[in-house]
A and B are shown apart, each in its own frame.
Chain A
Amino acid sequence: MTGFLLRRALGAVVTLLAISVIVYVVFFVTPGNVAQITCGPRCSPEQVHQVAQQLRLDDPLYVRYWHFLEGLVAGQDYSTGTSVEHCSAPCLGLSYQSDQQVTQLILTKLPVSLSLVFGAMVLWLILGVGTGVLSAWRRGRLSERLLTGVTLAGVATPVFVIGLVLMIVVCGQLQLLPFPQYVKFTDDPEQWAWNLLLPWLSLALIEAAAFARLTRASMLETLAEDHIRTFRAYGVGERSVIGRHALRGAIAPVIALNANNFGSAVGGAVLTETLFGLPGIGQELVHAVNVVDLPVVVGMVLVIGFFVVLANAVADVLYAVADRRVVLA
Chain B
Amino acid sequence: MSLVDVKDLTVEFGSLRAVDGLSFRLEQGGALALVGESGSGKSTVASALLGLHRGTGARVGGSVEVAGTDVEQASDEELRRLRGGKAAMVFQDPLSSLDPYYAIGDQIAEVYRVHARVSRRAARARAVEVLERVGIPDAPRRSRSRPHEFSGGMRQRALIAMALACEPALLIADEPTTALDVTVQAQILDLLHTLREETGLGLLLVTHDVGVAAESVDEVLVMRHGRAVEHGPVGTVLGAPGETYTRDLLAAVPRVDARRAAVGEAGEPGEVVLEATDLRREFGRGKKAFTAVDGVSLTIRRGETLGVVGESGSGKTTLGRMLVGLLEPTAGEIKPGGGVRPDVQMVFQDPVSSLNPRRSVGESIADPLRARGERDETRIRGRVTELLERVGLEGAHYDRYPHEFSGGQRQRVGIARALAADPRVIVCDEPVSALDVTTQAQVVALLGELQRELGLALVFVAHDLAVVRQVSDRVAVMRHGRIVESGPADEVYDNPQDPYTQQLLAAVPALDPEVAARRRAARRELAAA
B residues near A234, Cβ cutoff 8 Å? 83-84, 88-89, 111, 114, 162
Query: A324 within 8 Å of B by Cβ?
Result: yes
Residues of A223-255 whose CB lies within 8 A of B = 225-227, 229-237, 240, 244-245, 248-249
Q: How far is the CB of A142 from chain B (nearest CB, A)?
A: 17
Beyond A234-B114, A325-B146, is A248–B101 a contact (Cβ under 8 Å)? yes
Q: Are A226 and B52 in contact (CB under 8 A)?
A: no
Q: Main secondary structure on chain A at its contact with chain B?
A: helix
Residue pair A231, B111 in contact (C-beta under 8 Å): yes
Q: Do A237 and B80 touch across chains, with their CB atoms under 8 A apart?
A: yes
Bound Cα distance from A232 to B93, whole angstroms = 16
When the two chains form the complex, which single residue of A230, A240, A248, A322 contacts B91, counting CB atoms closer than 8 Å? A230
- Considering the chains assembled together, what is the distance between the CA atoms of A230 and B93 in angstroms? 11
Interchain pairs with CB closer than 8 A, number? 73
Complex contacts, A237 vs chain B, CB 8 Å: 80, 114
A235-B114, A248-B101, A325-B146 known; A227+B96 contact, CB < 8 A: yes
Chain A residues with Cβ below 8 Å from B52 are: 229, 232-233
Q: Is A323 an interface residue (CB 8 A)?
A: yes
Contacts of B159 in A (CB 8 A): 230
Docked-complex contact B93 and A325, CB < 8 angstroms: no
Tell me whether A249 and B115 are in contact in the complex, defined as CB-CB below 8 angstroms, given that A225-B96, A233-B83, A235-B84 are known contacts: no
A226–B97 touching, CB < 8 Å? yes
**CA of A325 to CA of B146 in the docked complex: distance in angstroms?**
9
State the Cβ distance, B519 to closest chain A Cβ, in Å: 31
Decide: A323 near B91, CB < 8 A? Known: A225-B96, A233-B83. Answer: no
Does B101 contact A324, Cβ atoms closer than 8 Å?
yes
How distant is A241 from chain B, measured CB to nearest CB, in Å?
Answer: 10
Contact B99 A235 (CB under 8 A): no
Residues in B with CB closer than 8 Å to A323 are 100-101
Q: How far is the CB of B214 from chain A (nearest CB, A)?
A: 27
Identify A325's interface contact among B81, B83, B97, B100, CB under 8 A: B100
B85: which A residues are within 8 A, CB to CB? 235
- Rounded to whole Å, the gap between the CB of B144 and the closest CB of chain A is 11
Task: Tell me, yes or no, whether B228 is within 8 Å of chain A by CB.
Answer: no
Over the window 145-175 of chain B, the binary record of Cβ atoms lying under 8 Å from chain A Cβ atoms (1 yes, 0 no) is 0101000000000010010000000000000
* A134 shortest CB reach to chain B, Å: 17
Complex Cα gap A235–B75 (Å): 12
Cβ distance A225 to chain B, nearest Cβ, rounded Å: 7
For A240, the closest partner residue in chain B by CB is: B110
Can you list 13 residue pairs at the A/B interface with Cβ under 8 Å?
A: A226-B97, A227-B99, A230-B97, A230-B162, A232-B52, A233-B50, A234-B89, A235-B82, A235-B84, A235-B85, A236-B111, A244-B110, A248-B99
